[in-house]
A and B are shown apart, each in its own frame.
Chain A
Amino acid sequence: MIVLNIKSFRYLHEDKLTLKDIRLKIREGSVTALLGETGSGKTTLILTLNGVIPRYRVGMLDGNVVCDGLDTKDHDTEEIARHIGIVFDDPTTQIVSLTVEEDVTFGPANLGLPREEVWRRVEESLEAVRLKGFNQRNPMELSGGEQQRLSIAGILAMRPKIIVMDEPIAFLDPIGKSEVLSVIKELNEKYKTTILISESGSDIERIAENVDRILLIRDGEIIADGAPREIFANQELIKRTRLRIPQVAELALRLGISDPNSLPLSVREGYEYLIRLFKKRKIKRIVREERPISRKKPIIEIKNLHYAYPGVPPIEALRGVNLTIYDGEMLGLIGQNGSGKTTLSYILVGLLRPTNPDAQVIVDGIDVANKKTTVREIINHINYVFQNPKNQLFSQTVIEEVRYGLRNQGLSDEEVDRKAKEALDLFEIGESKDSDVESLPLNMKTFLAMASTIAMDPKVLIIDEPTTGLDWDSSRKVAKVLKRLNEKGKTIIMITHNMELVAEFTDRLLVMNNGRIIMDGPTRDVLRQPEKLREAYLEPPQITRLSQIAEDLGFPSDVLTVDEMHAIINKNMV
């Protein structure tokens, strides 16, 4: 049981209260979601649960927090950690050891468990997060998603009575997200573990299916508390908080569902709802207009590309990639964690070079595989925005960050200022140009990382997981900026696990698995093949899956958005 009785919390050196009037109880054995936008106070609230706030993140806490009978004011964090395990949003900060196995043993070994029990839990936890066989790998060499799974395994192995996860599935591939949530659910059912998961909206479908209570937080206050259906049915509240709700629920609400208790949350419930709605009616056969992808001239041509990271044996990241990308495409590059997406990007911008001499990588006419071609030459044609904005930002202020690359391009001061302003305005962050980069919230850091690269005006832009950790509003903002740039002629390659975004914004999808491209085609065609996507630990968006399960009602199996599904039902129901 968690009992929160917080009148207020304010960080040292901040004027604004970060938490206000939070009085709630989370009962033993429940699964609760804490939903809120980026910066709404979710992480702060979570850190009060084990005493990190106010002990290590110093501030004024008026009130008290009791977890599993321990008042955080009277007990040390390490003592409370025996009862409550917290998975942080940034996995790199949670990993404390030099091998995967060693990292998972850290928690249970600190609990002083019998040796055999520690090893048994390590094996179980690694299996649960799909990291079995990675035991001796260096955590720093894992992909972002794999690192997140490792940090989850580290907490699972401790088997605390309460598990709190701060955006636990943000970095994971779609099937990985479902797997982790099912493990958590299993822990809850098997050991009656109390679960609290924070979420900013991008993974709402999966969260909604797995929790029995939602707490909605905004500006540090809990503004709603109830069952998922009850919360999602409150349209005024959802509109006000700008949170996304599950696609099937959104569809049902648009179609006028009145009883919140019958609001569908899963694909299965969505299908049952459609059956009730249709009452033996069907959808008129939809004949789609063939819209071939407009292919101008090739801008990227890759032939027989291999890359292996050094090691014994070497770790093969790319195994014979062949690919042509055309000028002006808006392309999604998807695949499971560690499938080779980031390695491919690094090669395209010259940060890595192929390990096979016969590889051919031509970008906008220049030979990127050739070691004599410098990164400086390459970035005039193609550039890359890192997965984690923290890896890309190195200046002190926002404006300095954007100016850095422009100055290196040898532009005049006027040109530098003009282009910097344009780039910042794209993301509406011009007003923060003198702000300290380190103090920016995650969404602003993401916008800034993108702006500083876009300002340099490359023809091709690769954006690696631009929406990870962002709320839905910020994610859409990123996607819309990219779409606008694409409409102006830029070729955009968006690497992401956010299937809703790729469905809505990209024209073509490349699916990578195990260092190879296993699917390549128009977005609609690729998402129409769920079985094949599953091989790459991917799955179509919830609304597409609904259209696929509802084929017997006449739906095409490749509906991409709620708008499209809604329009089909409205126009074609007979």
Chain B
Amino acid sequence: MVFLEYQWRDTFFHRLNPVVKAVLFISISILNTLWLDTRLTSILLLIAIVFAYIGKYPKQWLTIIYIMMITFVITSLLILPYLGTTAVYKVYPEELMHRIIFVITPEGTPLIGYVYLTVGSIVWLLARLVSIPTLLLVWGMFIYSTKVSDFFEQLLNLKVPFLIIFTVRAAYRFIPIMIRKINTIMSAQKLRGFEAKTKNPITLVKKYAPITYPLASYLVTIVDQVSISTKTRAFGSGNVTILKDFKFTISDYLICSCSISAVVIALYLLLVYNVGMI
């Protein structure tokens, strides 16, 4: 299965100008990050789901969203109790948000202290739980529907320095490489009797430990080798040929201006009227 790599399909998003797509998705991401109101982040999630449906988002990639959600819930549960005293509440009455609904450790508990859950921390968690799949969906959509070369060619057209483009491109290339490397190492380990089936997290960590060494060593080696490779192919030796022209259509301008306007308006409403805050 190909994860986090471009896949050819004939959909609206595949045809959309890569830079326009980036502007659209960056706008959604900004709103998604700023807003803590679950009602608003739910709207963004809904938009992301519609985009995923139109763009025929690969079902297998949803696994990544499940894994990230589980990881987030676990880590949130660990830090959530400490969110009880944060001063992020600007809309709802502070008394309500600071109202304790569950005491985890009573006052005077050694080391940990007084730890409790408040209404505010639960509301915060809800908003974030909705915003994570939105982010993963839109950026998954971007990776899956955008030919990287087209995106970077377009940036070249926009006179973005090639060094910056190449650095981003190289980083982008490493994601699938690392996923493949992990798969290969795990296949090699499976062929030597490795089985991860265990419910004990310590055993699980121990079992996966052998992956870390070859992976780290591979990462260092490949970064070094690819950087040498690029130099031996004249990277950085002069002007670079722009291989394709991209022209903005009216709909491209429209999507860009709508996206940017939405962010500007949302920022204004947020800063002045606390719209989107909790």
Contact of B232 among A85, A408, A453 (CB under 8 A): A85
Range of interface residues on B (Cβ < 8 Å): 35 or more
- Cβ A77 vs Cβ B210 within 8 A: no
Report which residue of A76, A96, A155, A384 has the largest number of chain B beta carbons within 10 angstroms of its beta carbon.
A96
In whole angstroms, what is the CA distance A311 to B211 when docked? 28
Contacting residues, chain B, for A56 (C-beta < 8 A): 224, 227-228, 231
Of the listed stretches B97-105, B236-244, B257-265, chain A binds B236-244
A351 at the interface (CB under 8 A from B): yes
Report the contact-size class of chain A (Cβ under 8 Å from the partner).
35 or more
Q: Does B229 contact A (CB under 8 A)?
A: yes
B residues 202-239 touching A (CB-CB < 8 Å): 210-211, 213-214, 217, 222, 224-239
Shortest Cβ gap from B33 to chain A (Å): 28
Does B180 contact A140, Cβ atoms closer than 8 Å? yes
For residue B8, which residues in chain A have a CB less than 8 angstroms away from its CB?
136, 312
Task: State A106–B147 Cα separation when bound (angstroms).
Answer: 15
Assess whether A97 is interfacial by the CB under 8 Å rule. yes
Shortest beta-carbon distance, A244 to chain B, in Å?
Answer: 29
Given contacts A138-B5, A405-B193, contact A118 B243 (CB under 8 A): yes
Q: Which residue on chain A has the smallest CB distance to residue B237?
A: A78
Q: How far is the CB of B185 from chain A (nearest CB, A)?
A: 5
A109 within 8 A of B: yes
Q: A395 at interface (Cβ–Cβ under 8 A)?
A: yes
In contact, B7 and A312 (Cβ under 8 angstroms) = yes
Assess whether B111 is interfacial by the CB under 8 Å rule.
Answer: no
B231 x A77 contact (CB < 8 A): yes
Q: Is the CB of B233 within 8 A of A394?
A: no
A residues in contact with B232, CB < 8 Å = 50, 52, 77-78, 81, 85-86
| Min distance, Cβ B22 to any Cβ of chain A, angstroms | 16
Within 240-272 of B, Cβ neighbours of A (below 8 Å) are at 240-243
Number of A-B contacts (CB under 8 A): 167
Q: A93-B225, A119-B243 are in contact. Are A394 and B149 (CB under 8 A)?
A: no
The reply to whether B235 and A98 form a contact with Cβ atoms under 8 Å apart is: no
Nearest A residue (CB) for B177: A140
The answer to whether A109 touches B192, judged by C-beta atoms less than 8 angstroms apart, is no
Across the interface, do B191 and A140 meet the contact criterion of CB distance under 8 Å? no
A371 at the interface (CB under 8 A from B): no
Bitwise interface map of A from 75 to 110 toward B, beta carbon under 8 Å scored 1, else 0: 011110110011010100111111101100111111
Residues of chain A within 8 A (CB-CB) of B185 are 391, 394
Q: Report A194 CB to chain B, min CB distance, Å.
A: 16
Q: How far is the CA of A81 from the CA of B172 in the complex (A)?
A: 25
B106 at the interface (CB under 8 A from A): no
Neighbouring B residues of A77 by C-beta, 8 Å: 228, 231-232
B193 touching A376 by the CB < 8 A rule?
Answer: yes
Write the B133-174 contact mask toward A (1 if CB under 8 angstroms, else 0).
000000000000001110000000000000000000110110
B-side binding surface: helix, strand, loop or mixed?
helix
From B188, B225, B234, name the one whose CB has the most chain A CB atoms within 10 angstroms. B234
**Residue B194, interface by CB 8 Å:** yes
- Measured in the bound complex, the distance between the Cα atoms of B1 and A311 in whole Å is 9
**Complex interface: chain B residues within 8 A of A98 (CB):** 5-6, 147-149, 172-173, 176
A392 at interface, CB cutoff 8 A: yes
A:310-325 near B, CB below 8 Å: 310-312
Among residues 92 to 140 in chain A, which have CB atoms less than 8 Å away from a CB atom of chain B? Answer: 93-99, 101-102, 105-115, 118-119, 136, 138, 140
Kindly state the separation between the CA atoms of A98 and B242 in the bound complex, as whole angstroms. Answer: 17
Residues of A contacting B222 in the complex (Cβ-Cβ under 8 angstroms): 93
Given contacts A52-B231, A351-B191, 15 further A-B contacts (CB under 8 A): A76-B231, A77-B228, A78-B232, A96-B173, A96-B226, A96-B229, A110-B234, A110-B237, A112-B241, A310-B1, A375-B191, A376-B190, A379-B192, A396-B213, A453-B192
Q: Measuring CB to CB, which residues of chain A are less than 8 angstroms from any residue of chain B?
A: 50, 52, 56, 76-79, 81-82, 85-86, 88, 90, 93-99, 101-102, 105-115, 118-119, 136, 138, 140-141, 154-155, 158, 310-312, 349, 351, 374-376, 379, 383-384, 386, 391-396, 404-405, 408-409, 438, 452-453, 456
Which residue numbers of B lie inside 8 Å of A, CB to CB?
1-2, 5-9, 147-149, 169-170, 172-173, 176-177, 180, 184-185, 187-195, 210-211, 213-214, 217, 222, 224-243
7 contacts between A and B (CB under 8 A): A50-B232, A79-B234, A98-B148, A98-B149, A99-B147, A311-B7, A408-B195
